[in-house]
Amino acid sequence: MPQKDIIRIKNASFYAYHGVASDEQNLGGKFEVDVEIHGDLSASFDSDELTETVNYELVYSFIKNAVTSRKHYLLESLASGIARGLLKEFQIIDLVKVTVRKPHPPVKGVVDYVEVEIVEPRS
């Protein structure tokens, strides 16, 4: 199998209303998303055409909509929705890794963040 090319979007930040506790659902908080897109981008190397690769502005827009348009109880559900949606939306993607972070989660202790990482291959 040939080496796949990778596009990464790091630390996209959004204010949203995800979590199990009612305060999280009502007051909201900051969420951070990393996306790693794997696919064959070689057609764009010589053509230098955006249509031959993954338009990361559209990917960012998709992520923003996924994070801000619907409430999730679990980070796992949010991350999986982003991963599956990107695979459906962009046929050039062979595999996507999505990491969702919640800074300063409501736990009884000092924690910088909690994160969930989902890896979803095209089936």
Q: Which residue has the tokens 């996924």?
A: 66
Look up 10 and say whether it is catalytic.
no
Using DSSP's 3-state secondary structure scheme, residue 36 falls into strand
Out of 64, 71, 88, 102, the active site residue is: 102
Question: Residue length, the chain?
Answer: 123
> What are the phi and psi torsion angles at 119 (to 5°)?
-115, 120
The catalytic site residues sit at 102
